[in-house]
Structure formats: C-alpha cells, structure tokens
Structure 1
Amino acid sequence: MRSSSRTTTRRAARSAAALLAGALTLSLAACGGDDDKDSPTEGASGGTETTATVRLPKLDGESLEVAAVWTGPEQANFKKVLAEFEKRTGAKVTFVPAQDPIINFLGSKIAGGQPPDVAMLPQPGAIRQAVEKGWAKPLGAEAQAELKKNFSQGWQDIGTVDGKPYGVYYKAANKSLIWYNTQVFENAGAEEPKTWEDLLSTAQTIYDSGVTPFSVGGADGWTLTDWFENVYLSQAGPEKYDQLAKHEIKWTDPSVKEALTTLAQIWGKQDYLAGGASGALQTEFPASVTQTFTGGDQPKAGMVYEGDFVQVNIAETDAKVGTDAKVFPFPSVGDTAPVVSGGDAAVILEDSKAAQALATFLASPDAATIQAGLGGYLSPNKNVDPKAYPNAVQQEMAKALIAAGDDFRFDMSDQAPQAFGGTPGKGEWKALQDFLKNPKDIAGTQRRLEADAAAAYGN
C-alpha cells in the first residue's frame, strides 16, 4: 500500500510540475508588456469591477480592525478590497500593521485587551496556535458555505483544526519560481535551466559574462527556508517532505544532509551571491528583487528566487514582467520539479456579525477578483476568472494553481510551530542564516535545527 501511495503522489506532483512549467512557457510567449487585451477594467476602488456574487449584511455603524504583516503595494492593494467591503456594508474597516511573528504581535494586543477582529495569518502552524490559545473563532455558516463553494478540499483542510474550519485562505503563493533579468541572460547566451545541474551551469555562464548570478534576501530568514524546501521536496520526495514537516523524522536525517549539501553548491560560492554571504544576510527580500532588475544589463545579480509575489517588487523598477523580467519553474533536483505553495488565511479573533461578514466576503470571488486585477497576487479561489489577472503571466499561473487542485505541498516552515518556522532570529530562520554564512557546517546546522525543532514541537 505504501509503495502504491508513493507512486500516486509522485505522479500527481509530476503532473502539477509539468502543468506549471507548460503554463509559464505559454504565458511568457504570450506576454509582451501592459497591452494585454484581456486585462480587466478598473473600478472606483482601483481594482477590477466585479458583479456581486455574495450577499452581505448592512453593517452601518459597525467597525472592524484587520491585522496583517503586509506592507507597501501589498498592503495598499488589500486596503482597496477592504474599501469595497465598506462600500457594500457600511462598516468601517481599519488596517492594523502587524510585525513578525504575528502570533507574538497578536498576543500583546490580546493581553492589552485590544485584539483585532480579524488577522491574516501566514502559517497553518499559527492558525493552530491561535486555536490552541483560544483566540481563534470558528467560521460561521455563511463563510463556510462560500469556502466549500469556492475552494478545493486541500485549501479548506489547511485552514481546519480538529475538524472545524477557522481559516479562509484568501491569498496563495507559488513558491517554486526563479525570476531573471532577460538582458543579462541574452548577453551571456544563457538559457532557462530545467534541472539543478543546468542551474549550476547557467549560473557559471552568467558569472563568466561579468554579472553575479544570484540575489538572495538572506536578511529575511523565510526566503532561505523556501530555498531549502524546494530542494528538499524535489530531492527527498513528497513522503519525506510530509514527515519532516510534522517532525516525524529528525533534522539529522540523511535526507536533510543531502539537501543542505546541494544548497551549498550555490550558497557556498561567494562569487555567486550579490555581496557574498555577508551582503546577502544584509539584504531584505524587496531589495533582493529590485537590485536584480535595476541597472539595465549590469544589475547586482542576474537571478532572484522567490514566489509569484515578486511581481509586486518588480513593479517598483522600470522592468516589465514578460519582457525585461521573466521566470522559470524551480529546476528539478531529483526526479520531479517541486511545487511548493504558501498563503495567508483570514482568521476571526473577535466573533461578531461584521467579522463573520468580512470572512464571508474574503471567501468569495468578489474580494479576490479586486486584488487579482491589481497584480502581484494569486488566489486559490477556483471561481475567480483568470481574465481578472492583469497579464498573461499571472493568468497562466492562476490557471496552473487551480488546475493542480490538491496536488501541491504547502510551505514546510509555515506548517511548523511559529517558534521554529516563523520567528526572526530563531529556529529554522536563524539556523539557515548561519548556514548561509558557513555552508561547510552541515552537521552543526542539522544539530541546531533538530534541537530547535524538538523544543518547538515538544518531542
């Protein structure tokens, strides 16, 4: 039975990866800038005009607070979604900027008697902790109905704890992408790699042309966990990935050693990283993107790894997605290319008619369609029309995400307790930052990871 399960899982992952690769190829061939004929029109809120598909109550005089760690364009775009909710209901919604780790931020707000009504939680582990602490409130009947109508079972399950739905996964992320400066690739005569060995060869070609191959946002430890997860999923396979995510195998397992050894083939080459390891550790994620797409054909780096949301940061430069900036799927390290996903879920902390109405709205196609039209966003809502997205790249990414159904693996660190997988300066974030600094210390990195994981998981 186990062998059959492994074969089925691998086939599913392989088909999802192939679908993603094909979608990206088609989208980039079709995308030529901002003149996409299928681009949505903008309404008064700055997003896509939508026809209401969900009924919302009148909430005149009601007020809500929504907390999230989002900043910059991501925050601004979400506020336009909240503005539409205000317009339809009469409620007043205030966005509360949160800090990582959001569980600690929420803890301080709750201790002070001022919890936000709704929080956007970026980790299933954080949802679980909020439930265990008695903070999270289950979704009501209306929100559950929208959830069942619009989301695959896999996305419903990620927001469920002990059989009760608590989270609406409003935002998804495809975290198996590498973005590149097309001028750099053309000048170097480099091609999009399909395998890890190809990626190493491409990196050397870029380096030989006089440009540093990779930009790494190592100041944000979560980017490093994403690197690891893609390598590990492809190399060790989905069964091992699930086991490590649940801490059913230890971080001292040989499969972890193999993945770290593979990562060191890039992280261990100072000349391959913009600013070397020390520079990477001082580079925050947004800067890791912008420095790849500024400076014409002589940027600080030719490639940057991260998810579809990179587009938000590319938009802050003069580069255009599909022409100056292109993307390829994270190359296969083992038999199959990885498909790692992430996301942010709306969780109710203060149960009220208004909070339940907002959760219902965020579970509907109406809310997601607005933010889809603003770019830099993907929704796991299967009833959002792909034409809502502003260009062919995002339209095909959205189609691939929905077509993959439940055949994906959620970000491993996001499944972990926050103390291990989601806290700056601690756990996996800190261990991988230390490993980036000293990629030769594989055994020591494994020991630290295991010690921190055992403490966080309580085993």
Structure 2
Amino acid sequence: MNKQSHRGRKAAAGAVAALSSLLLAACGTADAAGTAKEAAAREAACAPYAAYRGHEGTTVTLLMNDGFESVKATQALRRFSDCTSIRVDVEGAAGVEDEVKKRVGAGDPPDLAIVAQPGLIATLAGSGNLKPAAGSVAKAAGENWSADWLTYGSVDGELYAIPFDSNVSSYVWYSPAALKKEGYEVPRSWDELMAVSAKIADTGRTPWCLGLGSGAATGWPATNWIEDAMLAMYGPDVYDQWVTHAIPFDDPKVLRAAERAERVVKNEKYVRGGVRNAATTYFEDAGLPILRGECSFYRLGSFYAGSFPRGTKVAADGDVFAFPVPPADPSEGRLAIVGSTFTGAFSDRPEVAAVHTYLATGDFASRRVSLGGWMSANNKVDMSLYKSDLDKLSAEIMRDPDTTVRFDGSDMMPAAVGTGSFWTGMTDWIKGEDTETVLAEIEKSWP
C-alpha cells in the first residue's frame, strides 16, 4: 500500500466518523425533542389533576359492587391515577353493605366505600367509623350537586358521604308500539293511568306486571308503590315526616296511600299471573312479558333497562320505554323518587381525601358517564355524554329544579324497617294480609 492510498483511506474513515457523529447528534436532538414534546403533552393532560398531587406512591382502596361497575370505575379513574401516581385499588363485593359491616367489625375497613343506604351512612357515622368529609370534598360536592342531594349523605348537618351514581325510581315501563296500537297516549296523571288500566282490563287482558321476588330482599319492589303514593298524595313535607317517623307508619295517611296502591297491586283483574304469584315472581323477570304483549305496564326504576334481552331497543320509538309515574295533578309539576349510592371515607389520610375529592368532581362523573350504563345528578356532566334516551330523561329529571325529588323512603329508614319489616310486610300484604295489620306490624318494628 502506498502512502497516498493510506492517506485516502484515513481521510475517508474520518469523513465516515464525522458523518456518523453528525447523524448521532441529529438523532439525539430529535429524540430529545420528541421526549420533550411528549413530556409537555403529558403535563398538559395532567394539569387538571395538579391539586391532587403530592401523594405519589400511595395506595387507596375503594370498595364497591363487583362486576361491570367496578370494571368501569377502574377505567374512569385511570387518568387520575396516571397523573397523580396515587394507586386506587377498586375492590368488588357481591354485597357491599354486608362487606362494609363485616370489615368495620373486624377493624379492617376500606379507605373508601360506596353504599346505597343513607340509613347505613348515619349508623357508620354515629359509631365513629365513617369520617366527616374533608373540606376539599365538601367544597367540590357543594359546587357540583344541589343541596337536596347532599342532605342524603349528611348526618346532623355535617357531610359524610357524597353521591356516586344516581337513578330515577319512579318509572312505568311500557311498549310504545302496543300503547299506540291500542289508541292510548302516555298518561299525564294518575287518574289517566288508572283509566287506561281499567279499559285494558275490560278487554280481558291484565294491564300490569308485578314481581316482588329478590331473594333475601323479597318485597322491596312494593315499597316503591307506597312511596310514590305518599309523595303524590301529600307532598314532600308529609313524605319527610313519614320517612323520619314524625308520623307513625300506620297513620291514616299511610293507610290511604296503601289503598291507592291496592287498586293495582292487589287487583286480580290487573296483575298478570295473579296477585299471590307476584310475591314469588323475580322482579328482574316480571317486566319482560311487556315484550310479548302479556301486560302493558310495569313499575320499576331506570336501572331495569339492563334487564331486557340483548338487542331490545329501549327508546321512545323502540321495543320498550318508560314514562315517569304521573302526578295526581299535572299542573303541580313532576314528582320523582330517586336512589343513589354514596362514597364515604373510613380514613382521613390525605391521599384518601384526594381520591374522595376527585370522585366529587364533574371530571370523574363525565368520564364515567361516557363509558355508558351510569347516571349522575352531578350538574357539571355534559348532557350530550348520555348515550340513551332513558339516561337523558333521567338526568333531566334529577337536575330539573322544578321537579319535586325525594330519596327512596325505605333506604332512608332505619335498617330494621327499611330493609326489614317494610320488605317482609309488603310480601305479606301481597300474599293476602290486610293493609291495617301490615302497617301496624311495621310500626311496631320501628326502633
């Protein structure tokens, strides 16, 4: 090899090395730019969660119903966890209320739990196990719910638990096509509903489906009939007096409310399959005959939409839909019995307060609503996120300031009554026990 050739090869090698360095530098610059861009995008996406930071590496447990709901809650909380580095372990249980009692008794409560009964909230708060809502929780809740909704999670004027999901109980299910074919319109008053029921019965068909069966909770669907009547006949003040036992359970007003319900639920000409059989007909199955034209109406809450077979169109122009239980007088406005679950804290650790506060926001409620199968009375939720006609109607009812809303009465009563003697009393009532005896027995059970 001559010197000139050697020098040429050295020059070429140097050029290659220089080019490689330039390429590596360029790639490094591009990678750095990409990383910086990604970091900026992440920071922008996480900016709404800045107030919840400062608890990185912590874990908060959230106990709730198992299955679909726990899966969707985990999805709705994902962005929060990614941005705050607070791990939220969603624990599912088949019976949350029983699981809460069990774990509290064993001295191992979850950090947060979602329960359905204000009566249980009061019991847990009274025992000192449930903690008062942190200031940040109360502030967020006050901005996003009406005062009425917050009273259901309060004890002696202090907020303990915030609403989670909500539902409208006061619905009557029907077939829009069948009602139209028979020449009827959706009833606007209770008297109109009774008139349509009578006309259907006169043709030899049974206008109503009814089912009280629910395992250990058998009887609860009939409590809704009494609650509807108490609110419609006497208004919210008397309803509240009844729920809080300011008037006894066997008061003449309650008797008259039960007699209104009797016109349907204890009328052999009205109830498909007979009144006594309704006591053992499982509530989830009871309304399905509407699809076959074997009954025209079934009174149950908005959640019942999920009980119809896959492919059933639930809409005003669909296979089935629901209308609100009509008031006694349409000019007095709409009435609604509602239900909800509530999130309460058993720990006052700061990371628990952070998660609890986030659950009170419109951001969480909107994320969960967008996943479907869930409603909220949170007034920050964009109504366009609701995917079904029924969910939209329910959300409108819950947020309408002109609708008289009251919480499910049995859930507000002491457990010995609301989830005890009221349920069993309604079952005995449907099986044939006279109304006065049933009401007197429930009254005796009030603690």
Residue 434 of structure 1 pairs with residue 428 of structure 2:
yes
Distance 1:367 1:169 in 2: 12
Residue 145 (1) aligns with residue 143 (2): no
Q: Relative to 1, partners in 2 of residues 1:97 and 1:357: Cα closer, same or farther, differing over 3 Å?
A: same
Q: How does 1:193-342 map to 2 (within 5 A)?
A: 193-207=187-201, 212-220=206-214, 221-289=219-287, 291-292=288-289, 296=291, 298-314=292-308, 316-322=310-316, 323-333=318-328, 336=332, 338-342=335-339
With over 3 angstroms needed to count, the CA separation of the structure-2 counterparts of 1:274 and 1:75, relative to structure 1, is farther
User: SS of the counterpart of 1:250?
Assistant: coil
Match of 2:92 in 1: 96
- Single out whichever of 298-307 and 258-267 deviates more from structure 2: 298-307
Name the structure 2 match of 1:31: none
Query: 1:218 Cα deviation (Å)?
Result: 0.7
Match of 1:13 in 2: none
Highest Rg: 1 or 2? 2
Counterpart among 169, 180, 188 of residue 182 in structure 2 = 188
Return the offset for 1:77. Answer: 3.4
| More off after superposition, 59-68 vs 236-245 | 59-68
Query: Secondary structure of the residue that 1:241 maps to in structure 2?
Result: helix
Q: Which amino acid aligns with 1:452?
A: S
- Aligned-partner SS, 1:189: coil
C-alpha distance in structure 2 between counterparts of 1:223 and 1:319, whole Å: 24
Name which of structure 1's ranges 254-263 and 105-114 shifts more when overlaid on structure 2: 105-114
C-alpha separation in 2, matches of 1:149 and 1:265: 43
Taking structure 1 as reference, are residues 65 and 210 closer, same or farther at Cα in structure 2, changes over 3 Å only?
farther
Q: Is the 8 A contact 2:265 2:275 kept in 1?
A: yes
In 2, Cα distance between equivalents of 1:208 and 1:437: 24
In the TM superposition, residue 228 of structure 1 has moved relative to its aligned partner by 1.1
CA RMSD after TM alignment:
2.7
Q: Secondary structure at the match of 1:65?
A: strand
Counterpart secondary structure, 1:223: helix
Give the secondary-structure state (helix, strand or coil) at the position aligned to 1:331.
Answer: coil
Q: Deviations over 1:155-206 (max 9, x none)?
A: 2222222332111112222222212122332343332112223222322444
Structure 2 residue aligned with 1:154: 148
Q: Which amino acid aligns with 1:184?
A: A
Residues 248-257 or 149-158, more deviating? 149-158
Tell me how far 1:86 sits from its aligned partner: 3.5
In 1, are the aligned partners of 2:171 and 2:301 still within 8 Å (CA)? yes
Task: Give the count of matched residue pairs.
Answer: 394
Give 1:45-64 correspondences, 5 Å limit.
53-54=48-49, 55-57=51-53, 60-64=56-60
Could you tell me whether the CA contact under 8 Å between 1:64 and 1:355 is conserved in 2?
yes
| Matched residue, 2:445 | 452
* Aligned residue number for residue 371 of structure 2: 374
CA–CA distance in structure 2, aligned partners of residues 171 and 408 of structure 1? 16
Which residue identity lines up with residue 161 of structure 1 in the other structure? Answer: V
| CA deviation after TM superposition for structure 1 residue 59, in Å | 5.0
Structure 2 CA distance for partners of 1:271 and 1:114, relative to 1, 3 Å:
farther
CA distance in 2, matches of 1:274, 1:354: 53
Q: Alpha-carbon deviation of 1:58?
A: 6.0
Q: CA-to-partner distance for each residue in 1:362-418, whole Å, 9 max, x for gaps?
A: 100111112222344321211111111113443343233223279422221121112
Q: Take 2:406 and 2:153, find their aligned partners in 1: how far apart are those partners?
A: 14
1:311, distance to aligned residue in structure 2 (A): 2.7
Q: Is the 8 Å Cα contact of residues 66 and 94 (structure 2) preserved in structure 1?
A: no
Query: CA 1:436/1:58 → structure 2, altered by over 3 Å: closer, same or farther?
Result: farther
Report how far residue 451 of structure 1 moved: 0.7
Higher RCO by CA contacts (8 Å cutoff, separation 6 or greater): 1
Give CA deviations for 1:335-374 in whole Å, capped at 9, x if unaligned. Answer: 7453222211100113323322221121001111122223
Any idea what SS the aligned residue of 2:229 has?
Answer: helix
Whole-Å separation in 1 of the counterparts to 2:146 and 2:72: 25
Match of 1:270, SS state, is: coil
User: Does 2:395 correspond to 1:402?
Assistant: no
- Which piece of structure 1 moves more, 189-198 or 364-373? 189-198
How many Å separate the matches in 2 of 1:375 and 1:190? Answer: 32
Partner of 1:22: none
| Higher helix proportion | 2
- Gaps in structure 1 of 5+ consecutive residues: 1-49
3-state SS, counterpart of residue 53 of structure 2: coil
2 CA distance for matches of 1:367 and 1:393?
21
- Partner amino acid, structure 2, of 1:419: A
State the TM-score, normalized to the length of structure 2.
0.79
Amino acid at match of 1:63: T
Deviation at 1:299, TM superposition (A): 4.7
